[in-house]
Amino acid sequence: MVSVVLGIVLVLVLLILVGYVAGYNKIRSADVRVAEALAGIDVELTRRASLIPSLVHTVATFAAHEKDVLDRVTDAREALTSATAGRSVAQRSAAERQLDAALTPLLNLGQTSPQLSSSANFLDLQRNLADTEDKLAFARQYYNDSVATLNRLLGTIPWMFVAPLTGVGDKEYYQIAR
C-alpha cells in the first residue's frame, strides 16, 4: 500500500516537473521571439537612418535654402539612432514619429523642386525609403504578434503559474500614430 502511494506521489512530482520545464521553455522561447522581433525593427530603423545622410546631402545640393528642414531631419535621425540603442519600445516609437514628421517636408521638396524630382539619386533614395517603410511595417506587425503571443501565455493557465519563475513579464506593444 505504501509503495503504491509512493509511486503515485512520484508520478505526480514527475508530471509537475515535466510541466514546469515545458512551461518554462515555452515562455522563454516566446520571450526570445519578442527580442528577435524587436531586433528586426531595429535593423529596419537603422537601415532607414542610414539612408538619411544621403537624402539630406542630395536635397542640400538642390535646395540649400531649406537648411531648417535639413537640420530637423538630421536631429530626428540622431534621436532615432540613440533610441535604437536603448531598450524602450516607447522611445523607439517616439523617435520614429519624430523622424516621420521631419521627413515629410523634406520629401515634399521633391515635388516642388523640378531639379530634385528629376534627380536619379533622389528618386532612388525615395524608393529605398518606401521599401524600408514596407519592411518596417512588417517588422512592427511581427513584433506585436510576438508580444501578443507572449502576453497571452503569461496570462493563461497553466503557464501563469510558471511565469513568475521565468523572470519574464508582459511586454509593451509597438505603437506608432499615423
In a domain, 21, yes or no: no
Q: Where are the alpha helices (DSSP H) in 63-171?
A: 67-85, 89-112, 114-117, 120-154, 159-166
Q: Which of 5-9, 31-35, 43-47 has the highest mean pLDDT?
A: 31-35
Q: What is residue 13's predicted lDDT score, i.e. its pLDDT?
A: 92
In a domain, 4, yes or no: no
φ/ψ (deg, to 5) at 131: -65, -45
Q: What is residue 177's predicted lDDT score, i.e. its pLDDT?
A: 65
Residue 80 sits in a domain of what CATH number?
1.20.1440.20
Which element (helix H / strand E) includes 7? helix 2-62
Given a cut of 70, whether residue 65 has pLDDT beyond it is: no
φ/ψ (deg, to 5) at 169: -120, 175
In a domain, 177, yes or no: no
pLDDT tens-digit series, residues 128-154: 988 999 999 999 999 999 999 999 999
Domain containing 139: what range?
A: 33-166
In a domain, 55, yes or no: yes
Q: CA separation (Å) from 112 to 8, 11, 152?
A: 80, 76, 49
Instruction: Calculate the average pLDDT of the chain.
Output: 87
Model's pTM, two decimal places? 0.81
In a domain, 19, yes or no: no
In a domain, 3, yes or no: no
pLDDT tens-digit series, residues 94-114: 888 888 888 888 888 777 777
Number of domains in the chain: 1
Give the whole-angstrom CA distance, residue 60 versus residue 13: 70
**Least confident segment among 13-17, 96-100, 121-125:** 121-125
